[in-house]
Amino acid sequence: MPRSLQTVWSWALLLRLLALLRPPGLGEACSCAPSHPQQHVCHSALVIRAKISSEKVIPASADPADTQKMIRYEIKQIKMFKGFEKVKDIQYIYTPFDSSLCGVKLEANSQKQYLLTGQVLSDGKVFIHLCNYIEPWENLSFLQKESLNHHYHLNCGCQVTTCYTVPCTISAPNECLWTDWLLERKLYGYQARHYVCMKHVDGTCSWYQGRLPLRKEFLDIIQP
């Protein structure tokens, strides 16, 4: 298949999948399943720290019949935490122009830095949307910044389960209950900012609070 046609199908498929995220009857809404920052890092193909240099609205594909638009952000990559095997230095990232398709609005030409998680398409382009974890770097806690290098990656075998109402329980020994929504009525509360779901030597997982020293069973996992 010609590369240009592959690109058309890559964008078309992604936009179709994002359209399915919209709840029935809400044509102007973007809906995403909740996910802990640790899960975002584990499930994303790419995790970087970057500044936005400029933005430009472009066609979503080379197909003249395709009326969808994309925003192309030119970025200055500061650090890559994940994705080394897929891309090296990233110049552009792409997102839907339409907010109902979960397009992301970022500040260009400013000093603001972002943590960006996203996908790498078959043509090598980096794609982001509102269902990814995208945060101003200054809003991240010390533990979150440190965990991007170590704890998140090393504990992808753990599963974080969102607790909406009581009672809520774990169904497997490698699960941690995420209670920010239940206790604070917001997703990225104290637990998301200051805890990592960490794996023990026996395969079970539990929350580790960053300001406390690691217990020996945790050290056995992360240190050779």
- For residue range 59-117, what is the model confidence (pLDDT) as tens digits? 988 888 888 899 999 999 999 999 998 888 899 999 999 988 999 999 999 999 999 99
pLDDT for res 28: 60
Q: Is the pLDDT of residue 119 over 70?
A: yes
pLDDT for res 21: 44
Q: Where are the beta strands (DSSP E) in the chain?
A: 46-59, 69-82, 92-96, 113-120, 126-127, 134-136, 159-162, 175-178, 195-199, 205-209
Model pTM score = 0.80
Residue 103, CA atoms < 13 Å, CB-side half-sphere: 20
- Closest Cα partner for 127 from 33, 44, 42? 44
Domain boundaries, the chain: 44-140, 141-214
**Domain 141-214 class, CATH top level:** alpha beta
pLDDT digits (tens, 9 = 90+) for 149-171: 989 999 999 999 999 988 888 99
Q: Is the pLDDT of residue 3 over 50?
A: no
Stronger pLDDT, 27 or 57, i.e. the higher one: 57
Q: Is the pLDDT of residue 29 over 80?
A: no
Please indicate if the annotation marks 30 as binding a ligand: yes
DSSP state of 48: E
pLDDT for res 35: 94
Quickly name the fold that domain 44-140 has: OB fold (Dihydrolipoamide Acetyltransferase, E2P) (2.40.50)
Return the minimum-mean-pLDDT range out of 8-12, 30-34, 161-165, 175-179: 8-12
Q: Do 44-140 and 141-214 show the same overall fold?
A: no
